[in-house]
């Protein structure tokens, strides 16, 4: 019946989705949502109508992101959470107090008679124990009890105390195995710090790249504005020549088409500036009334400072500073500790124990403590306890699994080291490539500017066509774009290299507490 009902319901849903979607998402709901959004926008209109401007440097952008970036706000709690595992691991060596208080009553008949025997007892005891990394446990215990068998007997009072020690001889002996949990907790806490450092590293790189992307977008906008100006000047020159009869009216068409094309490129450049601004706002999360309408004035120009890059040195720095390598090494260390724990678990549990105490009893409450300081009532106990699982399959499986995970962690670390070395060397190649492109593109611009000057002179004397001039202008514009792009890409390539090394934070003066 349930299956049939499910089929009917699913069939009904399919029918509605196939034929009547407006019954699920009626147009009225969309209209209401749109009206609500417009109302909220009107309330915010005064702030949006007055966009604020902010002068921003690269380092200022980094500081703002470190203070306000929302992904960092999430990641910042990671190390704090991981640190809570350390005192939890320490707690296994804290003193432990256990106490019980009980009252009981037993009734049973005597020889099928109406008489019955009633046993009543009240007792209380407490034990204070503590374990140590050596596998030793010491305890101190004491208790008082009162019991009576009625109807004939009087109450009997009993008191006792004892101290004892239990020492693991095989499984669980020695600080090497008993401190495994604590060492793993400390490694986990330090790993979380490295993970947070990796997140900060990612954010700083993203901020720097977004900053320079916005600089590139603004520089591109300037070039596009210059290209429109060139096209307007060429169009005006064509109109002047047409007016005096030096050009046919057809020349106007190509000039106007070129101007329209460059204006379209200008629109794209303006939109790119807006998009890159949004990227930066998202990373910085600036505190402003109309956050998404902020306009950034870039304080750092895309000036190039040559950096000497030595791939071998960069790979060594990466080996020391990359947080992923630190995390992988800590994972391997924890797996090694797990092998120690499981290997110890293969041993039988053999403990030696010893205790000393006294007891006192009598028919009055004072008798319960009267002889607790009398050595004639001493009690001694010595012995061994053995626990042994003949097959021990569970512990063997745990140890085998831990060994495999250790080998896996070693392989993962070796692979990661190679991946990072390749990443560093590729980043170094990119720095060198962009550095060479800068000098090449500068020479191209000089040549294109001279070429445009010559071509315009030829056009004025009728030795060149309008299309020739426009083509040379396009070449100059493209050369200008290539030159500024190569400078920005070089700066970003250096950022990527420092990121690949793991030294970007240190080079930007950002420090993170990494106490283990």
Residue with tokens 């080998």: 407
SS3 354: strand
Q: What pLDDT shows up at residue 19?
A: 40
Which tokens is 323 given? 């947080």
**Measured between alpha carbons, how far is residue 201 from residues 132, 276, 515 in Å?**
41, 20, 18
Q: What pLDDT shows up at residue 121?
A: 87
Cα 373 from Cα 89, distance rounded (Å):
39
Q: What pLDDT shows up at residue 152?
A: 62
SS (H, E, C) 460-515: HCCCCCHHHHHHHHHHHHHHHHHHHHHHHHHHHHHHHHHHHHCCHHHHCCCCCCCC
Pick the CATH number of 182-334+404-507 from 3.40.50.1000, 1.20.1600.10, 3.90.1150.10, 3.40.50.880: 1.20.1600.10
Cα 183 from Cα 357, distance rounded (Å):
37
- Name the pTM for this structure: 0.80
SS3 51: coil
Query: For the chain (length 516 residues), average pLDDT per consecutive 10?
Result: 38 41 55 70 54 86 92 92 93 94 82 70 92 95 86 79 94 93 95 94 96 96 94 88 83 88 94 95 83 89 88 95 96 96 94 91 77 81 91 92 96 97 96 92 89 86 83 91 94 96 93 63
Which tokens is 467 given? 């299309």
Which tokens is 382 given? 């010595």
Cα 58 from Cα 38, distance rounded (Å):
36
Cα 196 from Cα 190, distance rounded (Å):
10
Cα 10 from Cα 16, distance rounded (Å):
10
SS3 26: coil
Q: What pLDDT shows up at residue 241?
A: 85
| Partners of residue 144 on adjacent β-strands | 124, 159
Phi, psi of 153 (to 5 degrees): -80, 155
Phi, psi of 510 (to 5 degrees): -100, 125
Distance spanning both ends of the chain, measured CA to CA = 62
Q: What pLDDT shows up at residue 23?
A: 47
Q: What pLDDT shows up at residue 289?
A: 67
- What is the DSSP track for 93-160? GS-EEEEEEEEEEEEEESTTSS-EEEEEEEEEEEEEEEE-TTSEEEEEEEEEEEEEEETTPPPEEEEE
CA torsion sign, 467 to 468 to 470 to 474?
positive
């Amino acid at each position: 019946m349930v299956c049939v009902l499910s089929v009917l319901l699913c069939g009904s849903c399919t029918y509605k989705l196939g034929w009547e979607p407006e019954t699920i998402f009626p147009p009225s709901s969309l209209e209401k949502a749109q009206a609500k959004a417009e109302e909220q926008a009107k309330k915010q209109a005064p702030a949006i109508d007055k966009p604020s401007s902010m002068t921003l440097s690269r380092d200022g952008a980094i500081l703002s992101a470190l203070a306000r970036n929302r992904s960092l706000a999430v990641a910042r709690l990671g190390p704090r959470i991981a640190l809570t595992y350390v005192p939890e691991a320490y707690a296994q060596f804290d003193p432990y107090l256990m106490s019980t208080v009980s009252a009981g009553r037993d009734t049973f008949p005597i020889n099928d008679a109406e008489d019955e025997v009633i046993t009543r007892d009240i007792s209380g005891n407490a034990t204070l124990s503590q374990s140590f990394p050596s596998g030793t446990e010491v305890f101190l215990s004491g208790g008082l009890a009162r019991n009576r068998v009625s109807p004939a007997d009087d109450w009997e009072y009993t008191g006792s105390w004892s101290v004892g020690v239990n020492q693991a001889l095989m499984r669980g002996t020695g600080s090497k195995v008993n401190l495994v949990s604590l060492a793993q907790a400390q490694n986990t806490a330090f790993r979380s710090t490295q993970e947070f450092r990796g997140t900060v590293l990612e954010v700083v790189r993203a901020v720097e790249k977004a900053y320079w992307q916005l600089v590139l977008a603004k520089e591109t906008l300037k070039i596009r504005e210059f290209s429109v100006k060139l096209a307007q000047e060429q169009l005006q020159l064509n109109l002047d020549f047409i007016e005096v009869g030096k050009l046919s009216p057809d020349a106007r068409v190509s000039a106007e088409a070129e101007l329209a094309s460059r204006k379209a490129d200008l629109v794209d450049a303006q939109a790119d500036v807006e998009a890159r601004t949004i990227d930066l706002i998202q990373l910085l999360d600036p505190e402003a009334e109309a956050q998404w309408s902020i306009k950034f004035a870039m304080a750092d120009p895309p000036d190039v400072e040559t950096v000497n890059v030595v791939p071998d040195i960069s790979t060594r720095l990466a080996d020391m500073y990359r947080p992923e390598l630190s995390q992988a090494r800590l994972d391997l260390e924890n797996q090694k500790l797990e092998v120690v724990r499981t290997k110890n678990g293969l041993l039988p549990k053999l403990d030696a124990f010893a205790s000393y105490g006294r007891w006192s009893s009598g028919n009055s409450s004072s008798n319960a403590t009267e002889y607790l300081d009398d050595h004639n009532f001493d009690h001694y106990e010595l012995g061994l306890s053995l626990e042994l699982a003949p097959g021990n399959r569970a512990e063997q499986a745990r140890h085998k699994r831990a060994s495999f995970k250790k080998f896996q962690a070693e392989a993962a670390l070796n692979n990661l080291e190679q991946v990072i070395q390749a990443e560093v060397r590729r980043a170094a190649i990119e720095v060198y490539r962009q550095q060479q492109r800068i000098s090449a593109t500068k020479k191209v611009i000089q040549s294109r500017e001279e070429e445009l000057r010559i071509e315009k002179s030829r056009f004025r004397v009728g030795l060149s066509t309008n299309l020739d001039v426009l083509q040379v202008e396009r070449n100059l514009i493209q050369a200008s774009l290539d030159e500024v792009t190569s400078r920005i890409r070089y700066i970003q390539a250096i950022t990527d290299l420092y990121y690949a090394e793991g030294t970007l934070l240190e080079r930007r003066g950002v420090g993170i507490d990494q106490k283990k």
